Structure 1
Amino acid sequence: MGVGKTTVGRLLAERLGTEFRDTDEDVVATAGKPVAEIFFDEGEDHFRALERQAVATALAEHDGVLALGGGAVMAEETRRRLADRPVVLLTMDVAEAVRRTGLDAPRPLLAVNPRQQWRRLMEERLPLYTEVARAVVDTQGRTPEEVAEEILGALELSRP
């Protein structure tokens, strides 16, 4: 959360001359309401079902840069779908995460004690992220442009 998936993803797509897509935006479009409202109105399980479908659809239809929601890798079927793809894990530490997401941001999983929740989520998710990632890029103290350049190099991608 707040690591820069969307910002960096858009930059990468531009530099690669391709399209960008964000599965959280797809979920919002399908549900007709923001992610936070889906969590509060229908619960996390419903959101995760929408997210799994959004990822499956995007991977089947889209061949550009794709940003997945932070919890998408929790689903085994999603990890299987990502197995042979150039997945990049963007990282930062907890202090940076809290600074970037803000304590008042509408992030349902960080609603209570954001630092503790973020640490818990990372302990739970980090092994799954690293399972599917072909490259890991630290965003700490770096501009989105610097992060995008490192990703291009790490994946040995070239611009058109």
Structure 2
Amino acid sequence: MSRPRVVLIGPPGSGKTTIGEALAERLGVAFRDTDADVEAAAAKPIGEIFIDDGEERFRALERAAVSAALAEHEGVLALGGGAVLAAETQDLLAGHTVVYLQVGLSDAVKRVGLASARPLLVLNPRSRLRKLMEERLPIYERLAGVTVATDGRDPEDIVAEVFASLPEAAQ
């Protein structure tokens, strides 16, 4: 059975895609993002899935995408910010090398942009983002073997810290 070398989790704006792509390049492996897998499966952007089909449908697609990626992907895997909410996903992450990319609200807001197409941030984005981050924090912290702070840091520094934190087998 193949398994990802590292799984990145964290809220919107934590840098999962940016750091994931750079880390994958450093490790010489492929990068995969479950949000992209969900969009491919639905043949439309996540925002449209929420509008057309609802959050419940999106979460079902997301659980399937995460399950498949954890079973098939051998590189660096980034999960959507809310993917960790599903108990099924939490169970599947056991035994994986999970890194939580921690970000403060102000940096997350700068990175996400308040006019973005993120469906859960449509009304009062700053307040919604704060609430999402607070709700998910205990889950991120519980699932992660390693936490890396990303506020005010260059991606290269973050990648170096994540790489250094990986068990020998993942490097």
What TM-score do the two structures reach when normalised by structure 2? 0.90
| 5+ long unaligned stretches in structure 1 | none
Aligned to 2:147, the other structure's residue is in SS state strand
Aligned equivalent of 2:5: none
Question: Is 1:109 the counterpart of 2:109 in the alignment?
Answer: no
CA separation of 1:155/1:108 partners in 2, compared to 1, >3 Å: closer, same or farther?
A: same
User: Identity of aligned pairs, percent?
Assistant: 56
Aligned equivalent of 1:137: 148
Aligned to 2:148, the other structure's residue is in SS state strand
Distance 2:61 2:148 in 1: 28
CA root-mean-square deviation: 1.4
Moved over 4 A (4+): 157-160
- The Cα shift of 1:109 comes to 0.7
Q: How does 1:4-23 map to 2 (within 5 A)?
A: 4-23=15-34
Aligned to 2:77, the other structure's residue is in SS state strand
8 Å CA contact retained: 1:17, 1:159: no
Aligned equivalent of 1:3: 14
Match of 2:161 among 135, 140, 150: 150
Question: Is 1:41 the counterpart of 2:56 in the alignment?
Answer: no
| 5+ long unaligned stretches in structure 2 | 1-11
Aligned equivalent of 2:96: 85
Question: Is 1:98 the counterpart of 2:109 in the alignment?
Answer: yes
Aligned to 1:89, the other structure's residue is in SS state strand
Aligned equivalent of 1:56: 67
What one-letter code is carried by the residue in structure 2 that aligns with 1:46? Answer: R
